[in-house]
Amino acid sequence: MTRTNYGPGPVAVLGLGTMGTGLASRLLAQGIQVRVWNRTPERTEPLARAGAVAVGRPSEAAEGTSAVICTVADGEALGAVLRGPDGVLARGTYSGALICASTVAPEEIVRLAGDVPSVMDVGMLGNRDHARDGELRLFVGGEERVFTAGRPLLELLGKEVVHLGALGSGMRMKLLLNLLMGIEVQAMAEAAELAAATGLDKQLVLRTIAGSGFASPVMSFKSRRLATGRFDEPDFRLRLMAKDLMLATEQAAAAGLRLPLTAAAAHTHTRAAEQGFGDEDCAAVTRAVAPEPGTHT
């Protein structure tokens, strides 16, 4: 698919974490003009060497583009890049597709969008490699006509693109998916720590789990991190998983639901983040499960 399928202008990517960098790389590889911004400018340098235009403000990144993709960490950061003094919407509306792919509360998306009609919220399922290779699964909320106009660009970024309904729907789906991931990875970490504490070979147990019918693909993938104990160069930071699990519990409370497993996982991830593991991969939740040094079983 070529650039002419969705519009003549370049695309801005705001926020160059794992997913933002992957998306910008994908666009560059497809011959799209890309403008990039990140709160810490040094993250723009590899993409600038690859052909992107690095700028100093979100509003500057958006100038002359047909689409803006926001992939910042949380609601506060998204509010700043959209509505802050240097934000995309600081001087009024934006005429292109405004794609919010940051995982935030659905109500936050609606509030930040205000009366801007071109906003879509996109829940992304996949990792950095999927983002770079156009293999994401994308779940979209927003007006039907806005989705239809933006779909060619989304199909450039993902192998599956699903319109779920009104604005906020993409975030609701993303929170459900991360809820499952957080619980599954914590459950596997607990099983591995119990194995080690009771005399079983932890590596053998993790291989067994990964090759069993009990394991989801994400568990098989994360089992390798648990086996090696390497949580640097994260696929998804633990503090972001803690945030998303807390958002899911808040959504449940607002709907009058009790989600005991989600609440427990949110507590464990929050504790691990408070212990200093927030910028490690989310599989580092095992640190909050492992026995304290010197503990005997």
Q: Is the pLDDT of residue 142 over 50?
A: yes
Question: Which has the higher per-residue pLDDT, 277 or 8?
Answer: 277
Q: Do residues 38 and 16 lie in contact, with contact meaning Cβ atoms separated by under 8 Å?
A: yes
Q: What's this model's pTM, rounded to 2 decimal places?
A: 0.91
Q: Do residues 108 and 139 lie in contact, with contact meaning Cβ atoms separated by under 8 Å?
A: no
φ, ψ of residue 233 to 5 degrees: the values are 45, 60
The count of residues in the chain is 297
End-to-end CA distance of the chain: give it in Å, rounded: 58
Mean pLDDT of the chain: 94
Q: Do residues 45 and 51 lie in contact, with contact meaning Cβ atoms separated by under 8 Å?
A: no
Can you tell me the distance from the alpha carbon of 29 to that of 27, in angstroms, rounded to the nearest whole number?
5
Fold of 173-288: N-(1-d-carboxylethyl)-l-norvaline Dehydrogenase; domain 2 (1.10.1040)
Domains of the chain: which residue ranges? Answer: 3-167, 173-288
Q: Is the pLDDT of residue 44 over 90?
A: yes
Can you tell me the distance from the alpha carbon of 62 to that of 116, in angstroms, rounded to the nearest whole number?
15
pLDDT band at 290, cuts 50/70/90? Answer: confident
DSSP per residue, the chain? --GGGT-SS-EEEE--SHHHHHHHHHHHHTT--EEEE-SSGGGGHHHHHTTPEE-SSHHHHHTT-SEEEE--SSHHHHHHHHHSTTSTTTTS--SSEEEE-S---HHHHHHHHTT-TTEEEEEEES-HHHHHHT-EEEEEES-HHHHHHHHHHHHHHEEEEEEEESTTHHHHHHHHHHHHHHHHHHHHHHHHHHHHHTT--HHHHHHHHHTSTT--HHHHHHHHHHHHT---S-SSBHHHHHHHHHHHHHHHHHTT---HHHHHHHHHHHHHIIIIITTSBGGGGGGGTSPPTT---
What local confidence, expressed as pLDDT, does residue 93 receive? Answer: 84
What local confidence, expressed as pLDDT, does residue 291 receive? Answer: 83
Can you tell me the distance from the alpha carbon of 6 to that of 40, in angstroms, rounded to the nearest whole number?
30
Structure tokens that stand for 103 in this block: 């995982």
pLDDT band at 146, cuts 50/70/90? Answer: very high
Fold of 3-167: Rossmann fold (3.40.50)
User: Amino acid letter at 24?
Assistant: A
Can you tell me the distance from the alpha carbon of 202 to that of 29, in angstroms, rounded to the nearest whole number?
41
pLDDT band at 91, cuts 50/70/90? Answer: confident
What local confidence, expressed as pLDDT, does residue 237 receive? Answer: 96
